[in-house]
Amino acid sequence: MARVKRAVNAVKKRRKIFKLAKGYFGAKSKQYRTAKAAVMKSLKYAYIGRKLKKRDFRKLWIARINAAARINGLSYSRLINGLKKAGVQVNRKMLAELAVNDAGAFARIAETAKEKLNA
């Protein structure tokens, strides 16, 4: 049986880990074993962070919509309920954008929601 010479592949494998670990503090960027552990943990945190980012943005949009809705005499939940009844299909991202940058347009949307709630 011929023996397997792994030198090139082993170096490539380590190089990939060290490239990802570049800039880490101390041994985490110098020693393969600690670098590998740090990179694995970092990638795990990055994956989790991508999921958390979506939650954080939705929370931010809802807070902005709620603030603008209260200026127009509604709560967030009543505004959303009124928009659903009116058949207005605007997502929270766009509502938040309107609340921040175009108060007039948001006020018109809030009026539409109020009319459907009172009717």
Q: How far apart are CA 17 and CA 86, in angstroms?
A: 55
Q: How far apart are CA 22 and CA 14, in angstroms?
A: 12
Q: How confident is the model at residue 4 (pLDDT cuts 50, 70, 90)?
A: confident
Q: pTM for the whole thing?
A: 0.79
6-36 tens-digit pLDDT:
889 999 999 999 999 999 999 999 999 999 9
| Backbone torsions φ then ψ of 39, nearest 5 degrees | -65, -40
Q: How confident is the model at residue 2 (pLDDT cuts 50, 70, 90)?
A: confident
When pLDDT is averaged across residues 107-112 and rounded to a whole number, the result is 96
AA identity, residue 76: Y
